[in-house]
Structure 1
Amino acid sequence: MAKTYEEINEKIRQRKAVVCTAEEIVDLVRQKGAEKVAEEVDVITTGTFGAMCSSGAFINFGHSDPPIRMTNILLNDVEAYGGLAAVDTYIASTSKSPNPEGYGGGHVIEDLIAGKRIHLRAWGPGTDCYVRKDINTYITIDDLNECYMFNPRNCYQNYNLATNTSDRTLHTYMGKLLPRMKNATYSSAGQLSPLLNDPHLDTIGVGTHIFLGGGEGYVSWQGTQFNTETPEKNGVPVSGARTLALIGDMKQMDRTYVRGLDIYGYGTSIAIGVGVPIPVLNTEVVERASISDEEIFTNMIDYSVTSKNRPVLGQYSYAQLRSGSIEYEGRKIRTSSLSSYWGARKVASELKDWIERGEFELTQPVRMMPKEGKVKGLAVKG
């Protein structure tokens, strides 16, 4: 039986909607079958909580007296972009502070959400309409006119399993990789991950209402490096494929779901909790969302190879990875996750609670995502 967005939202408003997490759907479909579950369930909630480097925030400070056109901006000694209008800026999660080490834009964003005082220093050229040339003050998120997260690339559909065949330790965005394949790291919520539960984005598009960092947000566009040409197994990609660009008001967010990161030997970043509700419009939606960790695979890649075309050493399911170890050519390799499955479960559960309480309705996308997308490389001459 097909359903519409409006029918589902009416049930949400009446607090009669039946909501399950993507984790719960796996067992439910095994017990009852997809067709029966599609009749009974209205919304499936997904979740992920991990590093999302391509993230940041737009901020408007408001004007000082006399006003200033900021062209050089530091927030807790982290450089923010000074090429926007007079008192607008964008701070990126991977921008680093020279002092202290290990502190960056992701930490500034976390501290703003936590209500902490942030040291603002800014300089400008001085003009007839913006006569002030420098400013040195402290701000909190409550002092700001607007403060919203805008993330060009979040929620990678899948990602590599990283290992290292060389004789030296590597420090990468996939964490510490020990020599001679003594460990392997991965970063996905697997069966809970938003884009693995809607692998061809049949329900997720521009305007989709989401959980972002503990507050409400929206899908604003396809993410950068949006790729539909990756190989699939069991109907889902086995490596990085589709991504989402996301937007949300930081004044609604909760520090629990937004944390600055210091990835040793690599740099700073940010971890964000994202939850996407999937409307049960038909049986096919349930069939796609009932995929389990046993059925979702990723490629193991050798990160000691410096070329972007790193060799694939094998494929492993997320059930195997979450067991704590895998085998490769007779050797046992310890596995660990850079994303938090506990956090992903918490995101999906909280979003479920919001919907059940009638506090969060679904939105029908105003534009669906491209059916074709290819990632291009940078040509370097010489």
Structure 2
Amino acid sequence: MKLVIQVKLLPTLEQEAALRATLRACNEAARWVSEVAFTSDAFKNFTLRKQCYAEVRVRWGLGAQAAQHVIKKVSDAYTVLRAKLNACSGGEKGSRRSRRTVHRPITFRAESAQPYDDRMLSWQTTARTVSVWTVEGRLKGVSFTAGPQHLETLARHRKGESDLVCRDGMWFLLATCEVPESVVHGEPVDFLGVDLGIVNIAATSDGEIMSGRHINRRRARDRALRNKLRKKNTASAKRRAQRRRGREARRNRDINHKIAKHLVAEAERTGRGIALEDLKGIRERVRLRKPQRATLHGWAFAQLGRFIAYKARRAGVPVVFVDPAYTSCTCAECGHVDTANRGSQARFACRSCGFVDHADRNSSRNIRARAWELWRRGARSVASAVPGQGTAGRGRDTTASGARNASLAAVAPGS
């Protein structure tokens, strides 16, 4: 399994100047290669290499490996663009947005990330330094730092390319690591159902609720401050907005990591799998009032699902994604489906049997029941699934299409 470890570089002023000059030269060359590719309608790596390799080396003074990585970066960028256009992510075909994307070459920021291989970058993990190629010569003894767990993973499993990144005046290396996978537990005793939400970030079928009210209040304050600074539009307001940029995303990412780690550890400790909802496309399916849209679109549920999936893969915990339809209005006790069952955001009261429970806990029990039903009917997970993607294995799949075949009122033993 591939993981990306981020380490922070601590260069001196001279080293930082050399790194900055290298990124600028590589990205200027990439912009020129992109124009050549767009003009000649040749986007394949080896075709571009024949046309641009010699010019890139002479004109920008790049080394052989750096020149090849620049050309490959451009080729990969056009490959991603074509995939987005085919998936209509760049706008509907024929739309103004799509035409604007298609009718001009891809550009690269002056300090966009640049890939490095082992010929251009060597690691001294014990000394916590790297030796890196630049346009001004090879820099030796560039210090870096990271957390203890990241340093251990880097020392034991680093393999492949690393990306040099400049972000907000700070320098980072994103190193690829090949981490061995654990054997997936093929006979879980049960599933831990997890209901993802906005008011409550995650609620489990065990009754544990991880509230998001405090986080949502902080997000609302951040959003109000951003709007205030945008309206003020002074130099000091712009500097303050720049300092705060990305703070909310980093905070949400940290919270999602902690929640995912806790859920996977609990499932591993009890010998269970994890059941999640397949929420792909939820932003297009739901219709909300304008004040609620910012909250929904700032909700990183897909990120949390990915974190749970990859951490479960490392721990050997099976993961099953199920269809979320009607989980919030289905009674986990009798299976009665009625939108009136959910009287409020937090309270569930079945109109048929009178069962009363916290609404999110009831939903998580339904998710658990569907996953257990799928598992008993032959579904298998390799704990590498992400929402909206298929899962390799024998029997039925664990994608949304497979989950829709499960009964809405399926109840696992012991519910």
- With normalisation by structure 2, the TM-score equals 0.23
- Between Structure 1 and Structure 2, which shows a larger proportion of helix residues? 2
Structure scoring higher RCO (CA < 8 A, sep ≥ 6) equals: 1
Q: Which has the higher strand share?
A: 1
Tell which structure's C-alpha radius of gyration is larger: 2
